[in-house]
Amino acid sequence: MSNELNRTKPTFTRAIVCKPAVNFAEGLTTQSLGVPSYEKALEQHAAYCAALRQCGLELIELPADVSYPDSTFVEDTAILTPDCAILTHPGALSRQGEVDRVRDVLIHYYSRIYAIQPPGTLDGGDICEAGRHFFIGVSQRTNEAGALQLAEILAGEGYTSELIDIRRTPGILHLKSGIAYLGDRQLAVIQALANHPAFREYELLELPLGEEYAANCVLVNEYVLVAAGYPRFQKILVEAGHRLILLEMSEYQKMDGGLSCLSLRF
Ligand code: CIR
């Protein structure tokens, strides 16, 4: 595949994205930030797609799917490594059918495709790839059975992994709502997770209090995509030498979504 194995920063050439459906506001959310505007969500999605193209990616665009109001959050349906794809079994019943369409795309790009089997559940948002190592969040969506299945699949492919239990970490739906790998052993991390022993060997960029939403930033080749409106974290990223693309995410935030959720990069 396109990622280079011997670099700690992955190189991506493609991404799968899916436009929000007209009933996007009927998706799941734990936020009380109001009802998202569909028009604005479409605009923000278009800007997101343009940013991925600016990073050099070719986009594979799935049409909006009203059967699954959360289907714009494609990241939750698969884990993509340089060597293989792993289809998830999402923790929310209403989202389990989203996987089929993504599998139909991935079969054209991957010769080895695994799948998480029930009773295991797993959402892609809980999986943080850090070079050859994976952090696997155990959350309200990803259960231990799903996490252990993924760890075994990854071990068989030569990757290491460890489980991070976030069930008692307030305010985050998925592990990647609270951490992001920024290459070269650097992690963005919310303060509630900063002392976790799993992150001891990493350089941590801590999210300023009140700016936790921006933790879900995404390294895509030479750029870091970051939510607009978080100036203190933006400064931390710039001082760490990152080139940023700022993106408005207000409508997705209302639906518990972040930047990483809107694409599957490979
Ligand atoms: C959900 O609750 O499943 C969607 N409304 C949001 C999913 C966000 N996905 C992610 O963080 N990877």
DSSP reduced 3-state for 11: coil
CA of 34 to the centre of ligand 1 (A): 16
Instruction: Write down the catalytic residue from 49, 174, 217, 242.
Output: 174
Q: Which atom of ligand 1 is nearest to the CA of 90?
A: 3
Encoding tokens for residue 166? Answer: 């976030």
Distance 141 CA to ligand 1 centre (A): 10
For the chain, the structural domain boundaries read: 2-265
Q: Which residues of 132-154 are buried (b: 16+ CB within 10 A; e: fewer)?
A: bbbbbbbbbbbbebbbbbbbebb
What confidence tens digit (pLDDT) does each residue in 70-93 have? 999 999 999 999 999 999 999 999
Q: Identify the pLDDT of residue 1.
A: 43
Would you state the pLDDT for residue 9?
Answer: 64
261 counts as catalytic: yes
Distance CA 58, CA 24 (A): 25
Q: Which two tokens stand for residue 17?
A: 């994205």
Cβ atoms < 10 Å from Cβ of 3: 17
Q: Beta strands 14-18 and 264-265: pairing type? A: antiparallel
- Decide: 73 in ligand 1 pocket, CB within 6 A: yes
CA of 73 to the centre of ligand 1 (A): 6
DSSP result, 128-141: EEETTEEEEEE-SS
261 lines ligand 1 (CB under 6 A): yes
Q: What is the pLDDT at residue 241? A: 98
Pull the structure tokens for residue 129: 């790839």
DSSP 185-216: TEEEE-GGGTT-GGGTTSEEEEPPTT-GGGG-
DSSP-assigned letters across all residues of 141-195? SS-HHHHHHHHHHHHHTT-EEEEEE-TTSTT-SSGGGTEEE-STTEEEE-GGGTT
Please list the ranges in the chain whose pLDDT falls under 70. Answer: 1-9
Nearest of 227, 213, 219 to residue 243 by alpha carbon: 219
CATH of 2-265, one of 3.75.10.10, 3.40.50.1240, 3.40.50.2000, 3.40.50.1100: 3.75.10.10
